[in-house]
Structure 1
């Protein structure tokens, strides 16, 4: 790896030189791209710019959408299906009708008896992957 640090640069530019893009490199590229996506959320009457890497999950409750970081919760005017589109090629995946999770914050997963999965997040919260979403979840999480 080569890193050139200089005050002559105005912004960060990443160049990848490779013979071909394999699955591992494709994952690295997606992670880098994900770092540049920000969302806005409100809390206590203030609007915040949120880096999606810090989000654990996005949940819709009673027609309201909430963005969850490790300890803070923000409200968003966007609908869950809009987040599905915005976060299409990121670590986020829909795991139920009302929840999208950031797989980068999943510590472990265990199968439940009813065909669902329980995912334990790195902040010790647990979320349920409904049966309908298990196949896509396994493909994304295990890849």
Structure 2
């Protein structure tokens, strides 16, 4: 695939996909572009709505039937389930790492093997989360390890 970047003076950025046919590779790129432009709806404790970029989210966790989004300096609640987050933002690096957690792979700074085939992930804000042994192979595959 050929990639060309052109600088121009137009007020708005524009992406043009040129292809002979809309194959799997082009559909993947299109999905990645669309999901990256979406906002993720979250709520404050005062029930105010906050719009987040998916890239801001380090990980999401389900606690007592509620889903929480953990960012570098704040925690927000969302109405989306972990399965919905994983499906919508998989192309952006969201990956299931336990029954109750989805991690943004781009938020991981370091990985450490632990007892019982578990993996400890240190996020870019210094927080540590555990990847269960069941989801370890999926994480390794997604990271190309």
TM bin (shorter chain): 0.7 to 0.9
Root mean square deviation of aligned Cα: 2.6
- The match for 1:69 among 63, 68, 71 is 71
Show structure 1 runs of 4+ deviating over 3 A: 15-18, 27-34
Q: Give the superposition deviation at 1:16.
A: 6.3
Counterpart in the other structure of 1:2: 5
Q: Give the superposition deviation at 1:15.
A: 3.9
- Which 5+ residue runs of structure 1 have no aligned equivalent? 19-26
C-alpha distance in 1 between matches for 2:121 and 2:16 = 35
C-alpha distance in 2 between matches for 1:37 and 1:111 = 34
Alignment of 1:1-143 (within 5 A): 2-7=5-10, 9=11, 11-15=12-16, 32-45=33-46, 46-142=48-144
- Which 5+ residue runs of structure 2 have no aligned equivalent? 20-27
Q: Deviations over 1:80-116 (max 9, x none)?
A: 1221221232211000000000010111101112101
TM-score normalised by structure 1 residue count: 0.81
Provide the aligned length of Structure 1 versus Structure 2. 135
C-alpha distance in 1 between matches for 2:131 and 2:122 = 11
C-alpha distance in 2 between matches for 1:53 and 1:97 = 22
Q: Give the superposition deviation at 1:61.
A: 0.2
